[in-house]
Amino acid sequence: MSEATQPGRLHELEELVLAQIDQDEVVAFHQSIVRVPTVNRPGDVREASAIVDRTLRDAGFRTESVGDLEEMPNVVATLGNTSGPTLCFNSHLDVVPIGERSAWSQDPWGAEIVDGRIYGRGAGDAKASVAAQVMAGVALARSGVPLKGNLVVNEVADEEVGGVHGADFVVREKHIVPDWVIIGEQTLNRVAVGEKGSASTEVIVHGRTAHGALPWEGANAIEAMAEVIVALRRELWPELETRTHEFFHHSSASINLMEGGVKANVVPDRASFYIDRRIVPGEDPAQCIAEVDRIAQAAVANLPGIRVEVRSAYPGRASQPVPVDDPLVQAMIGANVRLGLSTEPTGFSMGTDGRFFVDAGYPTIIYGPGDPKTAHIPDEWVGIDEILEATRAYAIAAVRLIGDHGEQEG
């Protein structure tokens, strides 16, 4: 930055975009997509996707729908036609099932407004982010702010079931080659510099069957499994609490699935369990599995006829947050400064579609309206104020990163 007038110019461009954000329009758009049931599975998002596509096209975006399944189109909408950097907004249109209808006091597909909140399945996760991203894109297009880069608004299918037909497809097939990515998930409009990594682990205990009346003839895999679980809880879990990172909850593990046994009167020769292991930056997935292995082997060492096997349940992933001084993080923090929102970076505990972008090497952060604690439960809701703040924040970040305001970077 060389001229004193430039911050003023940036401010001016931001004002132009903010002036194009209309509360009633944002709310109506959000309600229109919440009212379309996009439950995954089956994950048919065609109707909601068409609303997103049409809204962006009408505002001046070039839009296309890509995908490898007819019912799972992924909108790729582009504004700008420059050789400059590309900012990508990504979020998802599919939602989880509603569960028991009787547990809801509001219509899950009604998008009803009560006390400033909009209720519905997906109201927060993630249609609040979709609405804010789309409306920020529309505002940028209408404002006529000159661009030195491009904005791609990418609203996908299939996030809740793994993303193979959604973000994974879009990134894998290079339908988007972004310089920066902002994933819309519920961060309470805080700037999450990345998500935790994972090292999902499967532990299989092998023993020997015998008649249940003659247990000394066998080697009981379930009882041996209990020894392994207790050892992990005593030796590893407390250690994980000491593995901390300034932006993330500490490293964690939870045994969420188990299996075992043959029949009520047979000594079991096999038992297994699954560790949901979430890791912080600095932890290595392979080492995390090796440390479980060491403890498990020691726990069964004195049990005759028992053998334990420890392996990776899914490919592990290290946590790789974007450095705070990266222009992407700075643009988003700058937006929150401008709006009087939280400026302290944070980390995201859940997995997101961001992993596909991170794996492809694109700097990726997570930012969006809503509280993750209200996701996937009855009476899911999001505050109208939060959606509007996010719309403004995305718009400001876009101006800072790809607006032509005479600076090298936002």
Give the binding site for Zn ion (CB under 5 A): 125-126, 185
Judged by CB, which is closer to Zn ion: 159, or 269?
Answer: 159
- Who contacts 194 (Cβ-Cβ below 8 Å, separation ≥6)? 247, 281, 319, 320, 321, 322, 347, 348, 354, 358, 364, 365, 366
Is the Cβ–Cβ distance between 402 and 84 less than 8 Å?
yes
Q: How far is the CB of 293 from Zn ion (least distance, A)?
A: 33
Per-residue tokens: 398: 């876009």
Q: How far is the CB of 375 from Zn ion (least distance, A)?
A: 7
In one letter, which amino acid is 158?
Answer: D
Judged by CB, which is closer to Zn ion: 168, or 269?
Answer: 168
Q: How far is the CB of 125 from Zn ion (least distance, A)?
A: 4
Q: How far is the CB of 73 from Zn ion (least distance, A)?
A: 18
What span, in angstroms and rounded, lies between the C-alpha atoms of 100 and 378?
Answer: 8
Judged by CB, which is closer to Zn ion: 207, or 368?
Answer: 368
DSSP state letter for 179: S
Q: Under DSSP, is residue 127 helix (H, G, I), strand (E, B) or coil?
A: helix
Interior CA angle at 288 toward 285 and 290, to 5°? 115
CA distances from 229 to 202, 330, 343 (A): 12, 44, 41
DSSP state letter for 105: S
Cβ–Cβ contacts within 10 Å for residue 100, how many? 8
What span, in angstroms and rounded, lies between the C-alpha atoms of 129 and 119?
Answer: 14
Judged by CB, which is closer to Zn ion: 185, or 195?
Answer: 185
Per-residue tokens: 84: 């400059």
Q: How far is the CB of 295 from Zn ion (least distance, A)?
A: 34
- Who contacts 203 (Cβ-Cβ below 8 Å, separation ≥6)? 225, 228, 272, 273, 274, 275, 292, 296, 308, 309, 310
Report, in this order, helix, strand and coil percent for the chain, each rounded to 5: 35, 20, 40
Q: How far is the CB of 92 from Zn ion (least distance, A)?
A: 6
Judged by CB, which is closer to Zn ion: 125, or 155?
Answer: 125
Task: Identify the burial level of 343 via C-beta atoms within 10 angstroms of its C-beta, where 0-12 means exposed, 13-18 middle and 19 or more buried.
Answer: middle
What span, in angstroms and rounded, lies between the C-alpha atoms of 347 and 221?
Answer: 39
Judged by CB, which is closer to Zn ion: 126, or 219?
Answer: 126
Judged by CB, which is closer to Zn ion: 160, or 227?
Answer: 160
Element (H, E) at 297: helix 285-300
| Sign of the torsion angle spanned by Cα atoms 126, 128, 131, 137 | negative
Judged by CB, which is closer to Zn ion: 243, or 376?
Answer: 376
Q: How far is the CB of 285 from Zn ion (least distance, A)?
A: 23
Q: How far is the CB of 75 from Zn ion (least distance, A)?
A: 16
Q: How far is the CB of 368 from Zn ion (least distance, A)?
A: 9
Judged by CB, which is closer to Zn ion: 125, or 168?
Answer: 125
Q: How far is the CB of 270 from Zn ion (least distance, A)?
A: 36
Judged by CB, which is closer to Zn ion: 75, or 126?
Answer: 126
CA distances from 99 to 123, 252, 258, 343 (A): 15, 27, 23, 36
